[in-house]
């Protein structure tokens, strides 16, 4: 399952739900991410800033495309904030769920698929990454069909008018959080259709001394690492063996950015949602810090938007963005790791 975020020709209908009904029902009845306790959040009422199936705005021609993949087991919806930001900056964004790993995935007609995972251990991660890379290539294939005038919808449902014409598949990037970031790097290694990528705090290894292949080979196209203080230690190419190997072997343009006061989920919508629900949920300070660190929430969200947009502007559009050259007073939480 994917969601395609694109510029609309005009306002059209009510705001789209943040989660599909079946997914919202499951998450509302469970302890999501360990802090959103069952029954405390009305996920079904949450809305995006988008409308479903609006006609596409084709006045400015085809736009660069960015794929987004979430972390292990979490819904693609956790990248909505970033997807909406990129669309306002002139991109088409495709967010991807990974069936049987994502918990859960809802399909048209209401079918909901839960997780079906192998046992714990490195083989579980290898199986998941292999499936994710195949998912990425399938999505690229279907986008090519869409651009060519075909309808890739599995059930043949009508597509928004003009959608295929918004896709410039000669300029495609991919960003991902955690396992999605690992996927972005490994998919780039195996598929030249991806021109640039971002790994948001995803460790490029299955286990100690067992690196993902891309960490051994590196990449020859633009790539950006964005780390946090995962497990209390900043993840950078100077502290993480897998990132160090990837950095050493990569010959393309590269950056390593780190936010020491952030934590793993600071690169997702949790950074924006959790502080807004703090008072209602009475979340212990340590649980909050484990997910999103102690960084100022608004500054962190603005930083992620700014650096991700700048990276794809430079890598896919050839527009030099000085914010990628050196630290910025506007984003004081971000460190450049040289």
- What is the model's pLDDT at position 233? 86
Q: What is the mean pLDDT of residues 74-95?
A: 97
What's the pTM? 0.97
- What is the model's pLDDT at position 170? 98
Percent of the chain whose predicted confidence (pLDDT) is above 70: 99
Q: What is the mean pLDDT of residues 194-223?
A: 97
Q: Is the pLDDT of residue 230 over 80?
A: no
What kind of architecture, by CATH, is found in domain 2-336? 3-Layer(aba) Sandwich (3.40)
Whole-angstrom Cα distance, residue 118 to residue 128? 9
- Would you list the domain boundaries of the chain? 2-336
Using one digit for the tens of pLDDT, what is the confidence trace for 2-57?
Answer: 999 999 998 788 999 999 999 999 999 888 877 788 888 899 999 999 999 999 99
pLDDT band at 252 (very low <50, low <70, confident <90, very high): very high
The answer to whether residues 25 and 46 touch, using CB atoms and an 8 Å cutoff, is no
């Amino acid at each position: 399952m994917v969601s395609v975020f694109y510029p609309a020709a005009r306002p059209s209908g009510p705001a789209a739900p943040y989660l599909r009904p079946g997914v919202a029902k499951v998450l509302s009845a469970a302890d999501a991410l360990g802090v959103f306790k069952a029954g405390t959040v009305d996920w079904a009422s949450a809305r995006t800033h988008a409308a479903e199936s609006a006609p596409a705005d084709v006045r400015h021609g085809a736009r660069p495309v960015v794929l987004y993949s979430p972390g292990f087991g979490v819904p693609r919806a956790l990248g909505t904030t970033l997807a909406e930001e990129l669309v306002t900056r002139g991109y088409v964004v495709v967010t991807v769920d990974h069936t049987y790993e994502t918990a859960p995935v809802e399909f048209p007609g209401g079918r909901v698929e839960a997780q079906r995972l192998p046992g714990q251990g490195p083989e579980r991660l290898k199986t998941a990454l292999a499936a994710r890379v195949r998912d990425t290539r399938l999505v690229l294939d279907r986008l090519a069909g869409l651009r060519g005038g075909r309808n890739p919808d599995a059930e043949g449902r009508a597509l928004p008018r003009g959608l295929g014409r918004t896709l410039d598949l000669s300029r495609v990037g991919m960003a991902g959080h955690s396992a999605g970031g690992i996927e972005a790097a490994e998919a780039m290694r195996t598929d030249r259709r991806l021109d640039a990528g971002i790994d948001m705090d995803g460790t490029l290894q299955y286990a100690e001394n067992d690196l993902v292949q891309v960490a051994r080979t590196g990449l020859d196209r633009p790539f950006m690492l964005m780390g946090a203080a995962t497990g209390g230690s900043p993840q950078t190419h100077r502290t993480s063996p897998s990132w160090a190997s990837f950095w050493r072997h990569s010959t393309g343009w590269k950056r390593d950015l780190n936010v020491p006061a952030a934590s793993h989920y600071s690169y997702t919508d949790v950074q924006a949602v959790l502080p807004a629900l703090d008072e209602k949920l009475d979340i212990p300070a340590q649980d909050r810090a484990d997910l999103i660190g102690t960084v100022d929430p608004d500054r962190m969200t603005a930083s992620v938007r700014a650096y991700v947009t700048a990276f794809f502007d430079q890598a896919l559009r050839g527009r030099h963005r000085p914010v990628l050259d050196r630290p910025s007073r506007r984003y004081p939480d971000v460190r450049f790791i040289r």
